[in-house]
Amino acid sequence: MVLCYLGKAEIVITADGLKVHSINQSYPVPSILRLNQLIKLRRRDVPLTKPNLMRRDNYTCQYCGVRNVKMTLDHVIPRMYGGDDSWENLVCACDECNSKKGNRTPKEAGMKLRRRPRKPHYFTFVLSSLGTPPEEWRPYIFS
């Protein structure tokens, strides 16, 4: 709304029937904006935090696939073997699997990861938290 008011953007598509009212006027709520100038943003990274790791793994144990139980973080390569705190080395694990694996690699413990842990892309990570975008956004997001 502020970008439109300042003349830095224009409304391409408005939200259906939604308006913001001031004392004297009402303004349509934008659904899609077009910026008048290109704004270069530096590449962003998803912060490595426990909630973000849980979200990446969909709150599912990466060893047995169980959900809706207390989850912990597990180092795929334990720290004593040189494993670090990184997206590629941390996974969600239920208490049972984490205890079973202990301070060993998955191969030593006879366990297999359901999928290889990877660092999420910022844009797709943010989009996944928004849910399904409105149909009118599709030509602009996925083109």
Q: Which of 41, 52, 43 is nearest to 119 (CA)?
A: 52
CA torsion sign for 67, 69, 70, 74 is negative
Residue 68 and residue 28 share a domain: no
Residue 72 and residue 21 share a domain: no
Domain containing 63 — which CATH number?
A: 1.10.30.50
Q: Is 143 inside a domain boundary?
A: no
Residue 62 and residue 32 share a domain: no
Q: What is the pLDDT of residue 142?
A: 61
Number of domains in the chain: 2
What DSSP assignment string belongs to 13-45?
A: EEEEEEEEE-SS-EEEEEEEEEESS----PPP-
Q: What is the pLDDT of residue 132?
A: 78
Q: Is 66 inside a domain boundary?
A: yes
Q: What is the pLDDT along the chain (143 residues), one digit of tens a residue?
A: 888 889 999 999 888 889 988 899 888 899 889 999 988 878 788 999 999 999 999 999 999 999 989 999 999 999 999 999 999 999 999 999 999 999 999 999 999 999 999 999 887 787 777 777 778 887 877 65
Q: Is 123 inside a domain boundary?
A: no
Q: Which domain holds residue 5?
A: 1-40
Residue 10 and residue 56 share a domain: no
Q: What is the pLDDT of residue 9?
A: 92
